[in-house]
Amino acid sequence: MNSIWKKTSSLPSFPSLDGDIDTDVLIIGGGICGVLCAYMLEQNNIDYVLLEGGSICQKTTANTTAKITSQHGLIYDKLISEFSSEFARGYYDANEDAISEFASMCQNIDCDFEFCDSYVFSLKDEEKISNEAAALEKLSIPFERFNSLDLPFKTYGAIKFENQAQFNPLKFISAISKDLNIYENSHVTEMKETTAITQNGRVNAKRVIVATHFPFINKHGFYFLKMYQHRSYAIALENAPNVNGMYVSNSDYGLSLRNYGDLLIMGGEGHRPGTKTNAWDGIEKIAKKCFPDSKVVAKWATQDCMTLDKVPYIGKYSSKTRNLFVATGFNKWGMSSSMVAAKLLCDIITGKENKYASIFSPSRRILRPQLAINTFEALKGWISFSKKRCPHLGCTLKWNKHEHTWDCPCHGSRFKENGTVLDGPANENKK
């Protein structure tokens, strides 16, 4: 099953690492975040190497809905409550800067970039919409509120942001990556300080950026407690209407809509890996009811890292790692968050001040309700009886009948039926 981006794009290929090399900065992970980091270091004439275990941008980046926005659900009321108005406004500004950076880069790239309006709507009640509207007014963020939307299902209010954007991420990556210093099929099996070990060579670096979606180094940062993963599904429909914007519900189900050319992309059915799901059946049922003349022409799935407070972790891997950095936990908003991360980490590497660094610091407070939930899920996974165990931290694996994979409900690692690892943080195949 290939996403519409894979069906409409092709990416350059790169050699595998063969032998030992030295570099100033090593980037581990070739998703859009890692590639953007490499691109920005290249622009700043910094010596770097990017290692990707497979081929670049074939996982989360290839399976995104590709919305570039600062409207990350109904987040601003939460940010004011958990942090401050200054923090919330800084988060908004960082993501607006990311949209502007994409717009600037895409001026000379054929990647179907276009500005459009973004909407978050409620499927149940208007209270959260009202709370978000009050927060946006407090922050002086421009928005428009609607009591209902012209969609083929009932909504209970919505918030609109203007001048957001969408594009084809793989066309974008194809253009910016072709001259970068990338090694594909170069899986990092072990880290010794800032030296990465692969099957065919080592990279000795002064500084390391871990951009592997879910960080795989467990001895620093406690990311196995600070994050969990959320899986969701998408379909592309022909003979469906133009909805004139980007839409997402505020529920965990995450019903999502956007157009790409003559196609309508629908997403949803969000769930924690290893738990019950209807997968594509659930979305197709909604599509059949709302757009009876439509036809599914592509389907795919993706997985996102969720943080304790819905804010990404970007910066030092931990307070004790001087030369080890991380970008992770994009909470389903990986396009704008990847640009925020690349700009912030490039500033750190080049010694520039970044006014958003404290907002995204991975060392911020972790005592939040989600930490207890993550701990409980991990303990439940460890004590459950099963011979099928995840090599990451030993949790019980659950069979995903829709995708024919073994999934870890603790931290989201996934494996083929034969044990080959598909998604981390597991860094080796299941025995």
**In 180-318, which ranges are continuous DSSP H helix?**
223-226, 279-290
In this structure, are strands 48-51 and 182-183 parallel, antiparallel, or unpaired?
Answer: parallel
Is residue 413 in some structural domain?
A: yes
pLDDT in tens, 224-244: 889 988 899 999 999 999 999
Nearest to 120 by CA among 85, 78, 69, 166: 69
- Please compute the mean of the pLDDT values over residues 140-166 and round it to a whole number: 95
User: For the chain, what percent of residues have pLDDT higher than 90?
Assistant: 74
Measured distance CA(345)–CA(313) in Å, rounded: 11
Report the pLDDT value the prediction gives residue 381, as an integer from 0 to 100: 60
Is residue 12 in some structural domain?
A: no
The CATH number of the domain holding residue 390 is 2.102.10.10
Question: What type of residue is 262?
Answer: D
Provide φ and ψ at 161, rounded to 5°: -110, 130
Is residue 196 in some structural domain?
A: no
Residue 228 to residues 60, 274, 354, 408, 422: CA-CA distances in angstroms?
15, 12, 28, 10, 16
Question: What type of residue is 272?
Answer: R
Q: Which domain holds residue 401?
A: 370-423
Is residue 409 in some structural domain?
A: yes
Report the pLDDT value the prediction gives residue 325, as an integer from 0 to 100: 98
pLDDT in tens, 37-90: 999 999 999 999 999 999 999 999 999 999 999 999 999 999 999 999 999 999
Task: At 389, list the tokens.
Answer: 């165990």
Q: What is the pTM of this model?
A: 0.93
Is residue 411 in some structural domain?
A: yes
Is residue 391 in some structural domain?
A: yes
- Please compute the mean of the pLDDT values over residues 268-274 and round it to a whole number: 84
- CB-based contacts of 374, cutoff 8 Å, min separation 6: 225, 226, 227, 228, 308
CA 18 to chain centre: 30
Is residue 325 in some structural domain?
A: no
Is residue 138 in some structural domain?
A: no
Task: At 20, list the tokens.
Answer: 């030992």
Per-chain mean pLDDT for the chain = 92
Q: How many domains does the chain have?
A: 1
Measured distance CA(152)–CA(241) in Å, rounded: 10
pLDDT in tens, 175-200: 999 999 999 999 999 999 999 999 99
